[in-house]
A = this chain, B = another copy of it.
Amino acid sequence: MTTLVIGANGQIGRQFCELAQQAGVPIKAMIRDAAQAPWFEQRGIATVVADLEGDFSPAFEGCDEVLFTAGSGPHTGADKTLLIDLYGAMRAVDLAAARGIGRFVMVSALRAEDPQAAPEKLRPYMAAKLAADVYLKASTVPWVILKPGRLTDEPATGRVAASLEETGGENTVSRANVAQALLHLVQARDLVGREFRLLDGERPIGEALA
């Protein structure tokens, strides 16, 4: 029951890995570069070195679930959005399908279903996330999609909301809460074919994402 964490060295990825390790949830952190390994090794987290832009199929060995939390980030260009957020996700889905992976947990984005409604600057990113989500849903792989709002570095509260109605329009969520929500999703193995929005809020995670 090992979860391959794609994007493990990202801000959310690291927090998730640490939580999963503490909770005894078996994971394998996929990292691009062996130089990223010590952070994980110091915490007893298994790693595999593989490049999302190369052949990363060996990373799937021994895994029956995938958590995709890779993102090219705001400091690279849209070419990387195409190669990482879109095409990296598509290839991960293809590999998951070919290997009969039990479930694919995708970190998407709030309102990715409607890029047209996003601020102009965010639209290309949202289009990539939408296409990746659609690709996953059209695949043979059982899936869960988490759509966090605007990410912040606030500490975890463990209290979230699953809609903008619930928050009165507040659209932020801390990366720490996202990591906790991912831990919940990875542990709730019966959740399949579900899409959840995620914002900071008032409810326990297990209740909001049920």
Residue of B nearest to A77 (CB): B78
Residues of chain B with a CB closer than 8 A to A81's CB = 78, 82
Complexed CA–CA distance, A135 and B131 (Å): 8
Q: Copy number of this protein in the oligomer?
A: 2
Q: What is the number of residues of chain A that contact chain B, defined by CB distance less than 8 Å?
A: 24
Dominant secondary structure at the A interface: helix
Asked if A67 is at the interface (CB within 8 A of a chain B CB), the reply is no
User: Are the CB atoms of B134 and A83 closer together than 8 Å?
Assistant: no
- Answer yes or no: A86 CB below 8 A from chain B CBs: yes
Sample (18) of A-B pairs whose CB atoms are under 8 Å apart: A77-B78, A77-B79, A78-B79, A78-B82, A82-B82, A82-B86, A82-B123, A82-B124, A83-B123, A83-B124, A83-B127, A86-B127, A87-B115, A87-B123, A90-B134, A131-B131, A134-B138, A138-B138
Q: A residues within 8 Å of B by Cβ?
A: 77-83, 86-87, 90-91, 115-116, 123-125, 127-128, 130-132, 134-135, 138
| Known interface pairs A78-B82, A83-B123, A138-B138; 6 further A-B residue pairs with C-beta atoms within 8 A, sorted by A's residue number | A78-B81, A78-B124, A79-B124, A82-B123, A87-B130, A134-B135
Top 7 A-B residue pairs of the complex, sorted by shortest distance between their CB atoms: A78-B78, A87-B127, A82-B124, A78-B79, A79-B124, A131-B131, A138-B138
